Protein backbone atom coordinates (compact mmCIF):
# COMPACT_ATOMS: atom_id res chain seq x y z
CA UNK A 1 0.00 0.00 0.00
CA UNK A 2 2.85 2.42 0.83
CA UNK A 3 4.54 1.68 -2.49
CA UNK A 4 1.40 2.66 -4.39
CA UNK A 5 1.18 5.88 -2.38
CA UNK A 6 4.77 6.82 -3.25
CA UNK A 7 4.30 5.86 -6.90
CA UNK A 8 1.21 8.07 -7.16
CA UNK A 9 3.21 11.00 -5.73
CA UNK A 10 6.00 10.47 -8.26
CA UNK A 11 3.38 10.24 -11.00
CA UNK A 12 2.02 13.64 -9.96
CA UNK A 13 5.52 15.16 -9.96
CA UNK A 14 6.16 13.90 -13.50
CA UNK A 15 2.88 15.42 -14.70
CA UNK A 16 3.69 18.77 -13.07
CA UNK A 17 7.13 18.87 -14.68
CA UNK A 18 5.70 18.00 -18.12
CA UNK A 19 2.81 20.44 -17.76
CA UNK A 20 5.24 23.24 -16.92
CA UNK A 21 8.06 22.42 -19.31
CA UNK A 22 5.98 22.26 -22.50
CA UNK A 23 4.38 25.75 -22.30
CA UNK A 24 7.72 27.25 -21.28
CA UNK A 25 9.54 25.57 -24.17
CA UNK A 26 6.88 26.69 -26.64
CA UNK A 27 7.42 30.38 -25.91
CA UNK A 28 11.19 30.29 -25.39
CA UNK A 29 12.27 28.29 -28.44
CA UNK A 30 10.95 29.00 -31.96
CA UNK A 31 11.58 25.36 -32.92
CA UNK A 32 8.98 24.01 -30.49
CA UNK A 33 5.50 23.76 -31.97
CA UNK A 34 2.22 23.52 -30.11
CA UNK A 35 2.24 20.18 -28.32
CA UNK A 36 -0.84 18.05 -27.92
CA UNK A 37 0.58 16.34 -24.83
CA UNK A 38 -0.02 19.29 -22.51
CA UNK A 39 -3.58 19.59 -23.81
CA UNK A 40 -4.25 15.94 -22.94
CA UNK A 41 -3.50 16.35 -19.21
CA UNK A 42 -6.86 18.01 -18.36
CA UNK A 43 -8.70 15.42 -20.47
CA UNK A 44 -6.90 12.61 -18.68
CA UNK A 45 -7.79 14.21 -15.39
CA UNK A 46 -11.45 14.37 -16.39
CA UNK A 47 -11.31 10.64 -17.05
CA UNK A 48 -9.65 10.16 -13.67
CA UNK A 49 -12.62 11.86 -12.04
CA UNK A 50 -14.98 9.35 -13.63
CA UNK A 51 -12.73 6.51 -12.44
CA UNK A 52 -12.78 7.85 -8.88
CA UNK A 53 -16.56 8.23 -9.06
CA UNK A 54 -16.89 4.59 -10.08
CA UNK A 55 -15.04 3.31 -7.02
CA UNK A 56 -16.07 5.48 -4.07
CA UNK A 57 -18.64 5.20 -1.35
CA UNK A 58 -20.21 8.61 -0.77
CA UNK A 59 -20.10 8.56 3.00
CA UNK A 60 -17.22 9.36 5.29
CA UNK A 61 -16.63 10.33 8.88
CA UNK A 62 -14.49 13.37 8.03
CA UNK A 63 -15.34 16.12 5.61
CA UNK A 64 -12.91 17.29 2.97
CA UNK A 65 -12.91 21.07 3.26
CA UNK A 66 -15.37 23.41 4.88
CA UNK A 67 -18.55 24.65 3.25
CA UNK A 68 -17.10 28.15 2.83
CA UNK A 69 -13.99 26.77 1.13
CA UNK A 70 -16.04 24.75 -1.32
CA UNK A 71 -18.21 27.78 -2.03
CA UNK A 72 -14.99 29.64 -2.81
CA UNK A 73 -14.10 26.88 -5.25
CA UNK A 74 -17.42 27.52 -7.02
CA UNK A 75 -16.95 31.30 -7.04
CA UNK A 76 -13.46 31.13 -8.51
CA UNK A 77 -14.46 28.21 -10.71
CA UNK A 78 -17.03 30.44 -12.41
CA UNK A 79 -14.29 32.96 -13.17
CA UNK A 80 -12.03 30.17 -14.45
CA UNK A 81 -14.74 28.77 -16.73
CA UNK A 82 -15.55 32.26 -18.01
CA UNK A 83 -11.87 32.76 -18.90
CA UNK A 84 -11.88 29.43 -20.78
CA UNK A 85 -15.11 30.31 -22.60
CA UNK A 86 -13.67 33.62 -23.81
CA UNK A 87 -10.51 31.87 -24.99
CA UNK A 88 -12.63 29.24 -26.71
CA UNK A 89 -14.88 31.84 -28.34
CA UNK A 90 -12.14 33.96 -29.86
CA UNK A 91 -10.93 31.00 -31.93
CA UNK A 92 -14.04 31.01 -34.10
CA UNK A 93 -13.26 34.57 -35.20
CA UNK A 94 -9.72 33.48 -36.08
CA UNK A 95 -10.17 29.99 -37.52
CA UNK A 96 -9.64 31.25 -41.09
CA UNK A 97 -6.24 32.72 -40.16
CA UNK A 98 -3.18 31.06 -41.62
CA UNK A 99 -0.92 31.91 -38.66
CA UNK A 100 -0.71 30.54 -35.12
CA UNK A 101 -3.94 32.30 -34.16
CA UNK A 102 -5.94 29.95 -36.38
CA UNK A 103 -4.30 26.77 -35.07
CA UNK A 104 -6.95 24.23 -34.10
CA UNK A 105 -4.96 23.31 -30.98
CA UNK A 106 -5.60 26.85 -29.72
CA UNK A 107 -9.18 25.80 -29.01
CA UNK A 108 -8.32 22.43 -27.46
CA UNK A 109 -6.76 23.78 -24.27
CA UNK A 110 -9.60 26.10 -23.18
CA UNK A 111 -12.15 23.45 -24.17
CA UNK A 112 -10.55 20.76 -22.03
CA UNK A 113 -9.91 23.25 -19.23
CA UNK A 114 -13.59 24.21 -19.14
CA UNK A 115 -14.74 20.57 -19.05
CA UNK A 116 -12.20 19.72 -16.38
CA UNK A 117 -13.19 22.68 -14.20
CA UNK A 118 -16.92 21.97 -14.47
CA UNK A 119 -16.66 18.24 -13.81
CA UNK A 120 -14.18 18.80 -10.98
CA UNK A 121 -16.56 21.16 -9.19
CA UNK A 122 -19.31 18.56 -9.38
CA UNK A 123 -16.88 15.88 -8.22
CA UNK A 124 -15.80 17.94 -5.19
CA UNK A 125 -19.35 18.64 -4.11
CA UNK A 126 -20.59 15.06 -4.51
CA UNK A 127 -17.48 13.43 -3.07
CA UNK A 128 -16.58 15.77 -0.25
CA UNK A 129 -17.27 12.76 2.01
CA UNK A 130 -15.18 10.24 0.13
CA UNK A 131 -14.41 6.69 1.14
CA UNK A 132 -13.13 4.02 -1.23
CA UNK A 133 -14.62 0.58 -1.06
CA UNK A 134 -12.44 -0.96 -3.76
CA UNK A 135 -9.60 -0.16 -6.16
CA UNK A 136 -7.91 2.11 -3.62
CA UNK A 137 -4.65 2.27 -5.58
CA UNK A 138 -6.43 3.29 -8.78
CA UNK A 139 -8.27 6.03 -6.89
CA UNK A 140 -4.94 7.29 -5.52
CA UNK A 141 -3.55 7.74 -9.02
CA UNK A 142 -6.77 9.42 -10.15
CA UNK A 143 -6.70 11.95 -7.32
CA UNK A 144 -2.99 12.62 -7.82
CA UNK A 145 -3.66 13.19 -11.52
CA UNK A 146 -6.36 15.72 -10.61
CA UNK A 147 -4.06 17.51 -8.16
CA UNK A 148 -1.22 17.65 -10.70
CA UNK A 149 -3.61 18.95 -13.36
CA UNK A 150 -4.65 21.85 -11.13
CA UNK A 151 -1.00 22.76 -10.56
CA UNK A 152 -0.27 22.49 -14.30
CA UNK A 153 -3.22 24.75 -15.15
CA UNK A 154 -1.98 27.29 -12.60
CA UNK A 155 1.56 27.33 -14.01
CA UNK A 156 0.59 27.20 -17.70
CA UNK A 157 -1.90 30.08 -17.36
CA UNK A 158 0.78 32.02 -15.46
CA UNK A 159 3.14 31.51 -18.42
CA UNK A 160 0.47 32.40 -20.99
CA UNK A 161 -0.72 35.56 -19.23
CA UNK A 162 2.84 36.75 -18.63
CA UNK A 163 3.63 36.11 -22.30
CA UNK A 164 0.59 38.08 -23.48
CA UNK A 165 1.42 41.03 -21.26
CA UNK A 166 5.07 41.09 -22.31
CA UNK A 167 4.32 40.75 -26.01
CA UNK A 168 1.77 43.53 -25.70
CA UNK A 169 4.33 45.88 -24.17
CA UNK A 170 5.47 48.56 -26.63
CA UNK A 171 8.40 49.87 -24.59
CA UNK A 172 6.83 53.31 -24.80
CA UNK A 173 5.21 55.51 -22.21
CA UNK A 174 1.80 54.09 -23.00
CA UNK A 175 3.07 50.80 -21.58
CA UNK A 176 2.28 52.16 -18.16
CA UNK A 177 -1.46 51.62 -18.17
CA UNK A 178 -3.98 49.02 -17.06
CA UNK A 179 -4.64 46.03 -19.32
CA UNK A 180 -7.17 46.92 -21.97
CA UNK A 181 -6.75 50.69 -21.61
CA UNK A 182 -5.95 52.06 -25.05
CA UNK A 183 -4.80 55.58 -24.25
CA UNK A 184 -1.39 56.82 -23.19
CA UNK A 185 -1.52 57.10 -19.44
CA UNK A 186 0.88 59.90 -18.61
CA UNK A 187 -0.05 62.51 -21.19
CA UNK A 188 0.14 65.86 -19.45
CA UNK A 189 1.77 64.58 -16.27
CA UNK A 190 5.00 66.38 -15.43
CA UNK A 191 5.66 65.54 -11.79
CA UNK A 192 8.34 63.27 -10.36
CA UNK A 193 6.21 60.16 -10.73
CA UNK A 194 5.80 60.82 -14.43
CA UNK A 195 9.56 61.23 -14.78
CA UNK A 196 9.97 57.86 -13.09
CA UNK A 197 7.57 56.34 -15.59
CA UNK A 198 9.38 57.98 -18.47
CA UNK A 199 12.60 56.20 -17.54
CA UNK A 200 10.94 52.81 -17.88
CA UNK A 201 11.44 52.55 -21.63
CA UNK A 202 15.18 53.23 -21.46
CA UNK A 203 15.69 50.77 -18.63
CA UNK A 204 13.64 48.03 -20.29
CA UNK A 205 15.42 48.10 -23.63
CA UNK A 206 18.62 46.79 -22.09
CA UNK A 207 17.27 44.61 -19.29
CA UNK A 208 14.71 42.65 -21.28
CA UNK A 209 15.78 43.04 -24.88
CA UNK A 210 17.06 39.50 -25.25
CA UNK A 211 13.97 38.04 -23.65
CA UNK A 212 11.62 40.03 -25.87
CA UNK A 213 13.61 39.06 -28.98
CA UNK A 214 13.06 35.43 -28.08
CA UNK A 215 9.35 36.10 -27.77
CA UNK A 216 9.21 37.83 -31.14
CA UNK A 217 11.08 34.97 -32.82
CA UNK A 218 8.98 32.23 -31.27
CA UNK A 219 6.15 30.27 -32.84
CA UNK A 220 3.73 32.74 -31.28
CA UNK A 221 5.36 35.82 -32.69
CA UNK A 222 2.00 37.33 -33.41
CA UNK A 223 0.07 35.61 -30.64
CA UNK A 224 -0.03 38.88 -28.73
CA UNK A 225 -2.18 40.35 -31.48
CA UNK A 226 -4.58 37.39 -31.57
CA UNK A 227 -6.72 38.86 -28.83
CA UNK A 228 -6.71 42.33 -30.37
CA UNK A 229 -8.05 40.98 -33.67
CA UNK A 230 -11.39 39.89 -32.27
CA UNK A 231 -14.18 41.35 -30.18
CA UNK A 232 -14.11 38.41 -27.78
CA UNK A 233 -10.32 38.69 -27.56
CA UNK A 234 -10.53 42.35 -26.56
CA UNK A 235 -13.02 41.47 -23.84
CA UNK A 236 -10.67 38.74 -22.63
CA UNK A 237 -7.70 41.12 -22.62
CA UNK A 238 -9.54 43.65 -20.49
CA UNK A 239 -11.01 41.04 -18.14
CA UNK A 240 -7.87 38.93 -17.75
CA UNK A 241 -6.49 40.90 -14.74
CA UNK A 242 -9.59 39.81 -12.83
CA UNK A 243 -10.17 36.35 -14.35
CA UNK A 244 -6.56 35.17 -14.21
CA UNK A 245 -6.39 35.28 -10.37
CA UNK A 246 -9.65 33.29 -10.32
CA UNK A 247 -7.89 30.46 -12.18
CA UNK A 248 -4.99 30.51 -9.72
CA UNK A 249 -7.24 30.55 -6.66
CA UNK A 250 -9.57 27.87 -8.03
CA UNK A 251 -6.61 25.63 -8.89
CA UNK A 252 -5.07 26.14 -5.45
CA UNK A 253 -8.28 25.25 -3.60
CA UNK A 254 -9.03 22.20 -5.76
CA UNK A 255 -5.44 20.94 -5.60
CA UNK A 256 -5.56 21.17 -1.80
CA UNK A 257 -8.95 19.44 -1.60
CA UNK A 258 -7.92 16.57 -3.86
CA UNK A 259 -4.69 16.16 -1.89
CA UNK A 260 -6.70 15.85 1.33
CA UNK A 261 -8.95 13.27 -0.35
CA UNK A 262 -5.84 11.36 -1.41
CA UNK A 263 -4.31 11.47 2.06
CA UNK A 264 -7.50 10.11 3.65
CA UNK A 265 -7.90 7.12 1.36
CA UNK A 266 -7.66 3.83 3.22
CA UNK A 267 -7.77 0.20 2.30
CA UNK A 268 -11.22 -1.41 2.59
CA UNK A 269 -10.21 -3.50 5.62
CA UNK A 270 -9.14 -0.40 7.63
CA UNK A 271 -12.38 -0.28 9.68
CA UNK A 272 -14.89 -1.15 7.00
CA UNK A 273 -17.10 -2.73 9.64
CA UNK A 274 -17.17 0.46 11.65
CA UNK A 275 -18.04 2.43 8.56
CA UNK A 276 -20.92 0.20 7.58
CA UNK A 277 -22.25 0.19 11.11
CA UNK A 278 -22.21 3.97 11.30
CA UNK A 279 -24.15 4.60 8.11
CA UNK A 280 -27.69 3.98 9.41
CA UNK A 281 -27.11 6.23 12.43
CA UNK A 282 -25.97 9.31 10.59
CA UNK A 283 -28.07 12.26 11.70
CA UNK A 284 -29.29 15.13 9.68
CA UNK A 285 -27.39 18.35 10.39
CA UNK A 286 -29.08 21.58 11.39
CA UNK A 287 -27.47 25.02 11.17
CA UNK A 288 -28.45 28.09 13.16
CA UNK A 289 -27.09 31.63 13.01
CA UNK A 290 -26.75 33.68 16.19
CA UNK A 291 -25.61 37.27 15.54
CA UNK A 292 -25.32 38.17 19.21
CA UNK A 293 -22.14 40.15 19.91
CA UNK A 294 -21.48 41.00 16.27
CA UNK A 295 -23.61 44.09 15.57
CA UNK A 296 -21.07 46.82 16.29
CA UNK A 297 -18.32 45.07 14.38
CA UNK A 298 -20.65 44.57 11.43
CA UNK A 299 -21.74 48.19 11.14
CA UNK A 300 -18.24 49.62 11.63
CA UNK A 301 -17.13 47.20 8.94
CA UNK A 302 -19.88 48.50 6.66
CA UNK A 303 -18.51 52.04 7.13
CA UNK A 304 -15.09 50.73 6.10
CA UNK A 305 -16.69 49.15 3.04
CA UNK A 306 -18.22 52.47 2.02
CA UNK A 307 -14.85 54.18 2.46
CA UNK A 308 -13.21 51.51 0.29
CA UNK A 309 -15.79 51.83 -2.48
CA UNK A 310 -15.48 55.63 -2.51
CA UNK A 311 -11.68 55.41 -2.60
CA UNK A 312 -11.63 52.96 -5.51
CA UNK A 313 -14.16 55.05 -7.43
CA UNK A 314 -12.17 58.25 -6.94
CA UNK A 315 -8.96 56.48 -7.96
CA UNK A 316 -10.31 55.28 -11.30
CA UNK A 317 -11.95 58.65 -12.00
CA UNK A 318 -9.00 60.88 -11.07
CA UNK A 319 -6.22 58.73 -12.49
CA UNK A 320 -7.44 59.27 -16.07
CA UNK A 321 -7.70 63.06 -15.75
CA UNK A 322 -4.52 64.18 -17.46
CA UNK A 323 -3.33 66.54 -14.75
CA UNK A 324 -0.49 66.04 -12.29
CA UNK A 325 -2.52 67.17 -9.27
CA UNK A 326 -5.25 64.61 -9.90
CA UNK A 327 -2.69 61.86 -10.49
CA UNK A 328 -0.90 62.67 -7.23
CA UNK A 329 -4.16 62.93 -5.30
CA UNK A 330 -5.56 59.64 -6.62
CA UNK A 331 -2.43 57.68 -5.67
CA UNK A 332 -2.12 59.37 -2.27
CA UNK A 333 -5.73 58.79 -1.22
CA UNK A 334 -5.52 55.13 -2.30
CA UNK A 335 -2.52 54.59 -0.04
CA UNK A 336 -4.15 56.49 2.84
CA UNK A 337 -7.26 54.28 2.71
CA UNK A 338 -5.12 51.14 2.63
CA UNK A 339 -3.15 52.46 5.61
CA UNK A 340 -6.38 53.06 7.55
CA UNK A 341 -7.59 49.53 6.78
CA UNK A 342 -4.30 47.90 7.76
CA UNK A 343 -4.02 49.97 10.96
CA UNK A 344 -7.57 49.32 12.17
CA UNK A 345 -7.40 45.61 11.36
CA UNK A 346 -3.99 45.30 13.05
CA UNK A 347 -5.36 46.75 16.30
CA UNK A 348 -8.49 44.63 15.94
CA UNK A 349 -6.35 41.49 15.63
CA UNK A 350 -4.50 42.33 18.85
CA UNK A 351 -7.72 43.06 20.77
CA UNK A 352 -9.50 39.99 19.39
CA UNK A 353 -6.50 37.85 20.31
CA UNK A 354 -6.58 39.11 23.90
CA UNK A 355 -10.33 38.59 24.19
CA UNK A 356 -10.49 35.15 22.60
CA UNK A 357 -7.65 33.72 24.69
CA UNK A 358 -10.15 33.22 27.51
CA UNK A 359 -11.63 30.38 25.47
CA UNK A 360 -10.23 26.87 25.75
CA UNK A 361 -7.54 25.89 23.24
CA UNK A 362 -8.14 22.48 21.66
CA UNK A 363 -5.40 21.32 19.30
CA UNK A 364 -7.70 18.66 17.81
CA UNK A 365 -10.02 21.35 16.47
CA UNK A 366 -9.37 23.45 13.39
CA UNK A 367 -8.40 22.20 9.95
CA UNK A 368 -4.94 21.33 8.67
CA UNK A 369 -6.19 22.09 5.17
CA UNK A 370 -7.06 25.66 6.18
CA UNK A 371 -3.67 26.00 7.90
CA UNK A 372 -1.76 24.90 4.80
CA UNK A 373 -3.74 27.18 2.47
CA UNK A 374 -3.29 30.10 4.85
CA UNK A 375 0.49 29.65 5.06
CA UNK A 376 0.91 29.12 1.29
CA UNK A 377 -1.05 32.27 0.49
CA UNK A 378 0.88 34.16 3.17
CA UNK A 379 3.98 33.69 1.00
CA UNK A 380 2.37 35.87 -1.69
CA UNK A 381 1.69 38.59 0.88
CA UNK A 382 5.39 38.55 1.78
CA UNK A 383 6.77 38.39 -1.77
CA UNK A 384 5.03 41.47 -3.19
CA UNK A 385 5.92 43.93 -0.36
CA UNK A 386 9.46 42.55 -0.19
CA UNK A 387 10.20 43.49 -3.80
CA UNK A 388 8.58 46.89 -3.27
CA UNK A 389 10.77 47.58 -0.23
CA UNK A 390 13.93 46.41 -2.03
CA UNK A 391 13.30 48.76 -4.93
CA UNK A 392 12.43 51.61 -2.56
CA UNK A 393 15.70 51.13 -0.67
CA UNK A 394 17.74 51.52 -3.87
CA UNK A 395 15.73 54.23 -5.63
CA UNK A 396 14.39 56.46 -2.88
CA UNK A 397 15.51 60.08 -3.23
CA UNK A 398 16.11 62.83 -0.68
CA UNK A 399 13.11 64.87 -1.81
CA UNK A 400 10.71 61.98 -1.34
CA UNK A 401 7.10 62.70 -2.27
CA UNK A 402 4.12 62.16 -0.02
CA UNK A 403 2.88 59.38 -2.32
CA UNK A 404 6.12 57.45 -1.84
CA UNK A 405 5.97 57.87 1.94
CA UNK A 406 2.34 56.72 2.04
CA UNK A 407 3.19 53.74 -0.17
CA UNK A 408 6.04 52.59 2.07
CA UNK A 409 3.93 52.96 5.21
CA UNK A 410 1.08 50.99 3.61
CA UNK A 411 3.46 48.24 2.49
CA UNK A 412 5.03 47.82 5.94
CA UNK A 413 1.64 47.78 7.64
CA UNK A 414 0.42 45.12 5.21
CA UNK A 415 3.28 42.82 6.26
CA UNK A 416 2.70 43.38 9.98
CA UNK A 417 -1.07 43.05 9.72
CA UNK A 418 -1.03 39.84 7.67
CA UNK A 419 1.55 38.24 9.98
CA UNK A 420 -0.44 39.06 13.10
CA UNK A 421 -3.69 37.95 11.47
CA UNK A 422 -2.24 34.60 10.36
CA UNK A 423 -0.98 33.85 13.88
CA UNK A 424 -4.37 34.86 15.26
CA UNK A 425 -6.27 32.60 12.85
CA UNK A 426 -4.04 29.59 13.52
CA UNK A 427 -4.89 30.01 17.20
CA UNK A 428 -8.52 31.16 17.03
CA UNK A 429 -9.72 28.30 14.81
CA UNK A 430 -8.84 25.96 17.70
CA UNK A 431 -10.63 27.89 20.44
CA UNK A 432 -13.86 26.57 21.95
CA UNK A 433 -16.01 27.73 24.89
CA UNK A 434 -15.34 26.02 28.22
CA UNK A 435 -17.74 27.99 30.43
CA UNK A 436 -21.35 29.05 30.16
CA UNK A 437 -20.38 32.74 30.23
CA UNK A 438 -18.28 32.25 27.09
CA UNK A 439 -21.39 31.25 25.15
CA UNK A 440 -23.34 34.15 26.62
CA UNK A 441 -20.70 36.91 26.32
CA UNK A 442 -18.96 35.71 23.12
CA UNK A 443 -15.65 37.48 23.86
CA UNK A 444 -14.01 39.09 20.84
CA UNK A 445 -16.80 38.26 18.40
CA UNK A 446 -17.44 41.85 17.35
CA UNK A 447 -13.77 42.21 16.40
CA UNK A 448 -13.90 38.94 14.47
CA UNK A 449 -16.90 40.33 12.58
CA UNK A 450 -15.05 43.56 11.85
CA UNK A 451 -12.02 41.63 10.59
CA UNK A 452 -14.25 39.50 8.38
CA UNK A 453 -15.77 42.54 6.65
CA UNK A 454 -12.42 44.36 6.35
CA UNK A 455 -10.72 41.33 4.82
CA UNK A 456 -13.43 41.29 2.20
CA UNK A 457 -12.65 44.97 1.52
CA UNK A 458 -8.94 44.20 1.20
CA UNK A 459 -9.79 41.30 -1.10
CA UNK A 460 -11.66 43.74 -3.36
CA UNK A 461 -8.70 46.17 -3.34
CA UNK A 462 -6.19 43.43 -4.15
CA UNK A 463 -8.44 42.07 -6.91
CA UNK A 464 -8.26 45.48 -8.60
CA UNK A 465 -4.48 45.74 -8.16
CA UNK A 466 -3.81 44.69 -11.76
CA UNK A 467 -5.73 47.77 -12.90
CA UNK A 468 -3.81 50.01 -10.47
CA UNK A 469 -0.24 49.63 -11.73
CA UNK A 470 0.05 53.43 -11.59
CA UNK A 471 0.87 52.91 -7.91
CA UNK A 472 4.25 51.36 -8.78
CA UNK A 473 6.24 53.54 -11.21
CA UNK A 474 9.53 53.10 -9.34
CA UNK A 475 9.20 49.33 -9.33
CA UNK A 476 8.69 49.30 -13.10
CA UNK A 477 11.77 51.44 -13.53
CA UNK A 478 13.91 49.44 -11.10
CA UNK A 479 13.05 45.86 -12.12
CA UNK A 480 12.05 46.29 -15.74
CA UNK A 481 8.81 45.36 -17.44
CA UNK A 482 9.14 41.60 -17.74
CA UNK A 483 10.63 41.10 -14.25
CA UNK A 484 7.98 43.21 -12.52
CA UNK A 485 5.25 41.55 -14.60
CA UNK A 486 6.46 38.13 -13.50
CA UNK A 487 6.62 39.22 -9.86
CA UNK A 488 3.06 40.55 -9.90
CA UNK A 489 1.67 37.54 -11.78
CA UNK A 490 3.15 35.15 -9.22
CA UNK A 491 2.48 37.05 -5.99
CA UNK A 492 -0.79 38.93 -6.54
CA UNK A 493 -3.05 35.87 -7.00
CA UNK A 494 -1.68 34.45 -3.75
CA UNK A 495 -2.25 37.80 -2.02
CA UNK A 496 -5.83 37.89 -3.29
CA UNK A 497 -6.37 34.31 -2.14
CA UNK A 498 -4.93 35.16 1.29
CA UNK A 499 -7.66 37.74 1.87
CA UNK A 500 -10.35 35.36 0.65
CA UNK A 501 -9.13 32.45 2.75
CA UNK A 502 -8.71 34.69 5.79
CA UNK A 503 -12.40 35.53 5.40
CA UNK A 504 -13.16 31.79 5.25
CA UNK A 505 -11.19 31.13 8.45
CA UNK A 506 -12.78 34.11 10.20
CA UNK A 507 -16.20 32.77 9.22
CA UNK A 508 -15.29 29.44 10.82
CA UNK A 509 -14.16 31.25 13.99
CA UNK A 510 -17.35 33.33 14.01
CA UNK A 511 -19.48 30.20 13.62
CA UNK A 512 -17.69 27.60 15.74
CA UNK A 513 -15.70 29.33 18.49
CA UNK A 514 -18.71 30.48 20.49
CA UNK A 515 -20.89 27.38 20.72
CA UNK A 516 -20.59 23.96 22.27
CA UNK A 517 -19.66 21.23 19.86
CA UNK A 518 -22.55 18.91 19.10
CA UNK A 519 -21.47 15.27 19.42
CA UNK A 520 -23.33 14.55 16.19
CA UNK A 521 -21.28 17.12 14.29
CA UNK A 522 -18.52 15.80 12.14
CA UNK A 523 -14.98 17.04 12.15
CA UNK A 524 -13.83 19.21 9.31
pLDDT at 280: 39
Name the burial class of residue 498, with classes exposed (0-12), middle (13-18) and buried (19+) by CB atoms within 10 angstroms of its CB.
buried
Among the listed residues 291, 281, 301, the one whose alpha carbon sits nearest the alpha carbon of residue 451:
301
pTM of the model: 0.75
Vertex 231 angle, CA 175 and 463, to 5°: 55
pLDDT score recorded for residue 212: 47
Q: Locate the DSSP E strands across 423-464.
A: 431-432
Residues of the chain with pLDDT under 70: 1, 27-66, 94-105, 127-135, 166-229, 266-294, 397-399, 466-471, 517-524
**What are the sequence ranges of the domains in the chain?**
2-172+216-267, 295-512
Q: Are 200 and 176 in contact (CB under 8 A)?
A: yes
Classify the C-alpha dihedral 45-46-50-56 as positive or negative: positive
For 447, list phi and psi in degrees, rounded to 5. -75, -35
So what's the pLDDT on residue 412?
Answer: 94
Please tell me the distance from the alpha carbon of residue 181 to that of residue 179, in angstroms, as a whole number: 6
pLDDT at residue 284 in the model: 47
Strands (E), 336-463: 360-361, 431-432
Convert 375-394 to b/e letters by CB count within 10 Å (16 or more is b). Answer: eebbebbbbbbebbeebbee
By the 8 A CB rule, do 121 and 136 touch? no
Q: Dump the DSSP string for 102-155.
A: G-THHHHHHHHHHHHHHHHHHHHHHSSS-EESS-HHHHHHHHHHHHHHHHHHHH
Q: What is the pLDDT of residue 468?
A: 66
Other Cβ atoms less than 10 A from the Cβ of 10: the count is 10
The confidence score (pLDDT) of residue 197 equals 44
Amino acid sequence: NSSWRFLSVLYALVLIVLGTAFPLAEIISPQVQRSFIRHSIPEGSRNSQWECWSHVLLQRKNRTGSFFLRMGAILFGIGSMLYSCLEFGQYFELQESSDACGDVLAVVTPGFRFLFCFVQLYFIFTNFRIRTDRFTSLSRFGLMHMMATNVCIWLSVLVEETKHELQGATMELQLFRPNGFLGSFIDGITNDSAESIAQVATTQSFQSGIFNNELRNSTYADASSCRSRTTVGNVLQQASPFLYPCIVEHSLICAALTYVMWSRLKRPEDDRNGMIASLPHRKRQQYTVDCHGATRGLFIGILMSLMTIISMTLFFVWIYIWHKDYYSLSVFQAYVVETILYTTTLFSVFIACCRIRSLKFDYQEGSKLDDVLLIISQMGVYVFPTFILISAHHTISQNISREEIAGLVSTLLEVFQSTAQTLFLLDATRRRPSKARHIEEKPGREFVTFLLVCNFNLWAIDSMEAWRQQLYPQQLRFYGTWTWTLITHISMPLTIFYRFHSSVCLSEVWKSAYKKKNPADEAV
